[in-house]
């Protein structure tokens, strides 16, 4: 089948692939979806945690307080938190252990430890939920994933790195952080601040490699796609950096925020209005889906884009590219399926064709 040039008015976007299923939760979905075995796990502002397979609920647990941060797979368990308690669940949704603390900001998991960021510091828990060590500081934000035996997080106006033993080995003045976590790639920690500067810090050498001033609050966790570092800002721009130089930037409909998902060379993120997929190479929008409520940050799980919304729905969307005004290009071969279009045809003078 060859792509055709068609000019007609659409009231719904065809620039995204098919919706696979929708699941209704008890309230706003507050976490990014996580894959735990074959089960997708999310939490809500009303304290529910759901295990879902193919849009069908397999199990649920209800807790006191909103679920904060994102679930983290930890061996044969999945770990999440409310504001005061860290929970580990088994594959059937049963509680394996709990750890009580206060003012949790977020969690991340490594091979043998769970790191819990709070307003008072970072705690490391072992596989039984026992405290291994605690690092005292102020206003720790959500930590990065542990790589090469260390974890990185923002604390006040500083970027801090701790070894898996709890020993601090990096502390660099950067400026205050928004509600995002640093990202570590190839030994470089990338962190965006509320002053609008993206920093690249060589963790081993304990020095800033470069900083780029975007001029507005950085509202996403940085992500890497190919050779580029991608991030978004509060005024609705998405940037791609290459060794400290701006490679491209793209305008979106509102503020992007939270985690960014990368699948191949496509970068997926949510704004206050829409789900976007953009090319990591040049910022071209390859997919956009608008929502009636606030879509939260997506995950790409087995070629499906999974995301929750403020309205309390969890969506699964096929990440394959579908038809739009921009894709496929004229005369491009897009497959062997037949497409039937029904409607009215008008002449170039506005008359109805019969």
Per-residue pLDDT of the chain (354 residues; tens, 9 = 90+): 444 443 333 333 444 458 999 999 999 999 999 999 999 999 999 999 999 999 999 999 999 999 998 999 999 999 999 999 999 999 999 999 999 999 999 999 999 999 999 988 999 999 999 999 999 998 788 888 777 789 999 998 999 999 999 999 999 999 998 878 999 999 999 999 999 999 999 999 999 999 999 999 999 999 999 999 999 999 999 999 999 999 999 999 999 999 999 999 999 999 999 999 999 999 999 999 999 889 999 999 999 999 999 999 999 999 875 454 444 444 433 333 333 345 666 565 556 665
- The bridge status of strand 77-81 relative to strand 304-308 is unpaired
Residue 208 falls inside a structural domain: yes
pLDDT score recorded for residue 16:
44
Angle, CA of 302, 306 and 311, to the nearest 5°: 165
Into how many domains does the chain fold? 1
Nearest C-alpha neighbor of 240 from the set 228, 257, 250, 252:
228
Locate 262 and state its tokens.
């990368």
Domain hosting 255: range is 1-16+146-290+322-354
Candidates 234, 240, 296, 233; CA nearest to 267 is 240
pLDDT at 343: 60
- Give the span between the Cα atoms of 77 and 81, in whole angstroms: 13
Reported pTM: 0.84
Note whether 65 and 47 are within 8 A (CB): yes
- Residue 170 inside a domain? The answer is yes
Kindly calculate the radius of gyration of the chain based on its CA atoms and give it in whole angstroms: 22
CA distance 348 to 208: 60
Sheet holding 207-213, edge to edge: 183-185, 188-192, 197-202, 207-213
Q: What is the pLDDT of residue 131?
A: 98
- CA–CA dist 92, 320 (Å, integer): 31
User: What pLDDT, on a 0 to 100 scale, did the predictor assign at position 338?
Assistant: 32
Instruction: Give whole-number Cα distances, 266 to 11, 28, 156, 279, 316, in Å.
Output: 26, 27, 33, 5, 17
Q: Residue 166 maps to which CATH number?
A: 2.40.128.630
CA angle 307, 313, 316 (to 5 degrees): 45
Residue 153 lies in a domain: yes
- What pLDDT is stored for residue 327 in this prediction? 46
**Tokens encoding 179:** 């509600």
With a CB cutoff of 8 Å and minimum separation 6, the contacts of 190 are 182, 183, 184, 198, 199, 200, 201, 222, 224, 229, 231
Cα–Cα dist 40/50, whole Å: 8
For residue 7, being part of any structural domain is answered with yes
Q: Given 3-state DSSP classes, what are the helix, strand and coil percentages for the chain, each rounded to the nearest 5?
A: 0, 50, 50
What is the reported pLDDT for 347?
Answer: 62
Q: Does residue 85 form part of some domain? A: no
Is residue 131 in a domain?
no
pLDDT of residue 321: 55
Model pLDDT, residue 319: 84
Whether the bond into 328 is cis, omega within 30 of 0: yes
* In-domain check, residue 271: yes
- Tell whether 181 is covered by a domain: yes
């Amino acid at each position: 089948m060859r792509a055709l040039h068609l000019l007609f008015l659409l009231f719904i976007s065809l620039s995204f692939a098919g919706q696979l299923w929708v699941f209704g939760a008890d309230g706003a979905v507050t976490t990014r979806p996580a894959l735990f075995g074959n089960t997708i796990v999310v939490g809500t502002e009303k304290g529910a945690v759901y295990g879902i397979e193919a849009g069908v609920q397999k199990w649920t647990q209800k807790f006191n307080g909103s679920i904060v941060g994102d679930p983290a797979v930890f061996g044969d368990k999945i770990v999440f938190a409310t504001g005061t308690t860290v929970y580990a669940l088994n594959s059937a949704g049963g509680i394996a252990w709990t750890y009580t603390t206060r003012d949790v900001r977020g969690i991340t998991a490594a091979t043998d430890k769970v790191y819990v960021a709070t307003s008072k510091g970072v705690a490391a828990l072992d596989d039984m939920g026992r405290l291994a060590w605690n690092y005292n500081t102020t206003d720790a934000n959500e930590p990065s994933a542990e790589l090469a035996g260390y974890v990185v997080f923002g604390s006040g106006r500083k970027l801090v790195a701790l070894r898996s033993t709890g020993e601090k080995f990096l502390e660099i003045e950067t400026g205050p952080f928004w509600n995002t976590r640093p990202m570590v790639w190839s030994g470089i920690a990338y962190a965006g601040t509320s002053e609008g500067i993206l920093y690249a810090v060589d963790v081993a050498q304990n020095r800033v490699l470069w900083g780029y001033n975007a001029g507005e609050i950085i509202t996403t966790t940085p992500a890497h796609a190919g050779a580029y570092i991608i991030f978004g800002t509060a005024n609705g721009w998405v940037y791609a950096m290459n060794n400290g130089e701006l490679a491209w930037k793209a305008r979106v409909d509102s503020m992007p925020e939270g985690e960014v998902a990368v699948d191949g060379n496509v970068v997926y993120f949510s704004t206050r209005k829409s789900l976007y997929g953009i090319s990591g190479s040049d910022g071209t929008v390859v997919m956009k889906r608008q929502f009636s409520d606030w879509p939260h940050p997506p995950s790409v799980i087995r070629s499906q884009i999974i995301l929750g919304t403020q309205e309390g729905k969890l969506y699964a969307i096929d990440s394959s590219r579908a038809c739009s005004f921009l894709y496929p290009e004229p005369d491009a071969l897009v497959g062997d399926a037949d497409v039937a279009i029904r409607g009215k045809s008008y002449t170039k003078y506005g008359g109805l064709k019969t």
